[in-house]
Amino acid sequence: MSIEIRAPNMAGTGSRPSEEGLMKPMRGPGGMNGMDGAHDEPMLASTLLSHSMPSDDPYNPMNLPLHRKIYTSFCAWLFAATVAFGATCFTAGKADFVVDFNLGNGIPVSFIAGLSLYLWGIAFAPIWTPHVAERTGRSPIYLIGLPVCGLFILGAGLSHSLAGVLVCRFFAGLTGGPCLVLIEGTFADMWSAEMTNTYYAFLGTAAYFGASLGPLVGGYLIKATDNWRWTQYFNVILIAAVILFGMGQSETYQREIPRRRARSSGKSRKEFIRTQDPALSGVTVGEMLRVTVLDAITGPFTDPVVALSTLILLFNFAVVFQWFISVPAALGTPPPMGPGFTIDRIGLAIGLTGTVGSTCAALMSITIEQITTGRLMKMFSSTPASTPAIEYRLIPAMIGQFLITASLFWIGFTVNPNFHPTVPIIGTAIYIFGNASIIISVIPYLFDAFPPAGTLSALTSAASGRILFAGMMPMVILYDITALTPKWAFGIFGFISIAMWPIPFLLFRYGPIWRARSRFSRAPMGVGEGVAMHRKVPSHDSEMTGYENGAMRA
């Protein structure tokens, strides 16, 4: 879910680009990297070095000891998973919530809004989080955002008015959302950009594991306490434990690290910040709004790469969150129309489908990258200036799209008393498998689709858009299923998913051409006319601190 601009990787880079080279449009040698040679391939955003620290700098997060990398990565994973857990654990308390607020029978919209508003709060996080991180680093946002999220969740649990619960749920998502935004940047700071799909496969499971374990844990809490408020109280306890565990995480943002070193050496942080390059996400409020609001809104309507990527993510993310409403409704229906599962068994079903499906997707994506990377590097080794195009990252999405279609028809035709409940449950796991494969594939593709400002706008479109739609679908899914029957409701989703099949293949075939012609690729590296477009030598920020050991290289 993250859209933070990634601190680029200098590991393995033998020389720095000249200032003149940084001022030129981002074009790399080697044409289309062997795709069709029709035009120059835009330089990967992850290779842009305008804010990188030297590769031999011991403070470079790429050079952290392995145990520190693992610990900091796991902290980010836990923070993100905990926020996702908070979204869905709430859904397990439906029965008691309805009675507590006298909402009538069934699953009322007022209850579903507790899930949707939390998601809509998260949807705003990609808009403001990058700008704050540019100025404070990542670790303060983790360590402030999650506790504030916990306070709002506690407020929801203590509130005795429906409006109070819903307002607190929204602000819990708004303040916890940055943890889901920052995780990708944290991983990219420490791990090689050549293995983007591999590390994203791991970090991508955070949201799926958290969201899937929410109903599982919530089901057992409700069975033990018969009180929906404990879904919120337990979440607060979990947040406190994660914060304590994550207190020692390292700051990894390569723009922030030199600032802290300057301050520790007695220099004024404010004065040092003035010597740094302007933030790539914008300096003035107008520039920041342009990158993460205006361009994010217009991108899907003006750029084919952003449009297709956002479209496929919108559909798949919207469908995945409706399971947290439709699965309990289907499995909890008493015989003869349903199996009459208890809330703990329903949670177990959701937990297993989410964790198993996302794990399979992660393993498949890692395997594909490990196999293809070696072969592709050999293929392009004859032309040293060329590297495999980032479109090869889309291979898992090509496979996942077919799994989604098969699973939707599978579920639609088996959610009835003629089939054992495990049959549609297996189909749901297959859907998560396909859905996670697309997320793990398309988001890393957008990482490097454009220069940083354009990438940030594209990822904001994808992140905010898919979460907004994810919050909308649960509000209407039960009405759709009731009016159309599961066969037709999920069948319609299945037919829509067929229309999505060409998207990964179109991006693979025409993505390099579209990216080269994109206004995001042609735009200067700065973000506005008011910002100086001249980028300094990449290690400038680090050099200004004056290393204690004097280990500097030109």
Q: Would you tell me the crossing angle of helices 109-136 and 162-190 to the nearest 10 degrees?
A: 40
Shared-domain flag, residues 186 and 320 = no
Q: Which residue range is the domain that position 189 belongs to?
A: 57-203+221-276
Shared-domain flag, residues 397 and 496 = yes
From CA 491, how far away is CA 511, in angstroms rounded?
Answer: 30
From CA 150, how far away is CA 175, in angstroms rounded?
Answer: 9
Shared-domain flag, residues 270 and 339 = no
Which tokens belong to 183? Answer: 């995780």
Shared-domain flag, residues 392 and 430 = yes
Shared-domain flag, residues 357 and 313 = yes
38 domain-assigned = no
- Total count of domains within the chain: 2
pLDDT tens digits along 362-376: 999 989 888 876 666
39 domain-assigned = no
Shared-domain flag, residues 116 and 250 = yes
Shared-domain flag, residues 242 and 308 = no
Shared-domain flag, residues 269 and 361 = no
Q: What contacts 313, CB < 8 A, 6 or more positions away?
A: 438, 439, 442, 443, 462, 465, 466
Mean pLDDT per 10-residue segment, the chain (554 residues): 41 37 35 37 44 76 92 96 96 91 84 94 93 90 96 97 96 96 90 79 92 94 94 97 95 88 78 75 84 91 94 91 85 78 89 94 90 67 59 93 95 88 92 94 90 87 92 85 82 93 95 90 47 33 35 29
156 domain-assigned = yes
Among the three residues 229, 250, 276, which one is the final residue of a domain in this structure?
A: 276
Q: CA dist 441 to 74, 196, 221, 430, 445, Å?
A: 21, 9, 35, 17, 6
12 domain-assigned = no
From CA 174, how far away is CA 168, in angstroms rounded?
Answer: 10
pLDDT at 144: 96
23 domain-assigned = no
pLDDT at 379: 63
Q: What contacts 167, CB < 8 A, 6 or more positions away?
A: none
Query: Would you say the pTM of this structure is higher than 0.85?
Result: no
Q: What is the DSSP letter of 44?
A: P
pLDDT at 407: 94
pLDDT at 539: 35
Shared-domain flag, residues 246 and 153 = yes
pLDDT at 272: 78
Shared-domain flag, residues 247 and 107 = yes
Shared-domain flag, residues 155 and 291 = no
408 domain-assigned = yes
Shared-domain flag, residues 272 and 395 = no
Residues 117, 471 contacting (CB under 8 angstroms): yes
Measured in residues, the chain has a length of 554
Closest among 133, 230, 243, 121 to 172, alpha carbons compared: 121
Q: What are phi and psi of 228, to 5 degrees?
A: -60, -25
pLDDT tens digits along 447-459: 888 888 888 899 9
pLDDT at 554: 27
CATH code, 489 = 1.20.1250.20
281 domain-assigned = no
Q: What is the DSSP letter of 534?
A: -
343 domain-assigned = yes
Largest CA distance in the chain: 77
